[in-house]
A and B are shown apart, each in its own frame.
Chain A
């Protein structure tokens, strides 16, 4: 158990409403990621963070924003949800500590996912 929790685990919302998903880690890992999982596409990176207030875009970042105000929390926000954002969202942390030191064997650890349905 890599100490990652996502909330909410399930959410149904309507088109045009804002949505925020939260990822919380207790492991002091430096890198945190948000992926979405869709049939036929596998996992696609939305945004990632390499430190407090340091974030960058992934391959499918349009329509999403992120924030990381402290090491343990990484928030994903959909400013105005659309039906194309219906998906399962996974947070992950990588096996590197705050100083870049290797933790474990360098793999990604995943949360249990947040299923979002936009009607």
Chain B
């Protein structure tokens, strides 16, 4: 079945550092890919998405590109802030109704 693998962390960075969180997937067909973010005590909220190969999703300075050849959707940000501290989940969806999530990566950004 479909699956998502991502680095589990925790990842600890200093403010203004560059962030990469790796995500790779296994799926039949052509899934949509997502990054969700979960701030402490809250539910998950969509950070960005991409629906087809070579699409780039972006939001709040975060970016991820749908790479079909490497089955990857790595999350990047050029300069992280303390307020970016959260848990980040990579996910895929086939046919818009079956969603599979990675285990989540906890990010801590130190001032």
Contact = CB atoms under 8 A, between A and B. Distances in A.
Interface of A: 31, 33, 35, 40-43, 45, 50, 90, 92, 94-96, 102, 105-113
Interface residues of B, number: 21
Contacts of B32: 106
B97 A107 contact: no
Contact of A113 (B43, B51, B101, B102): B43
Given A31-B97, A105-B49, A42 B102 contact: yes
Given A50-B97, A94-B96, A106-B32, A42 B43 contact: no
B96 A111 contact: no
Given A96-B97, A107-B46, 16 more contacts: A31-B97, A40-B8, A42-B103, A92-B99, A94-B97, A94-B99, A102-B96, A107-B34, A107-B93, A108-B36, A108-B44, A110-B36, A110-B43, A110-B45, A111-B43, A112-B43
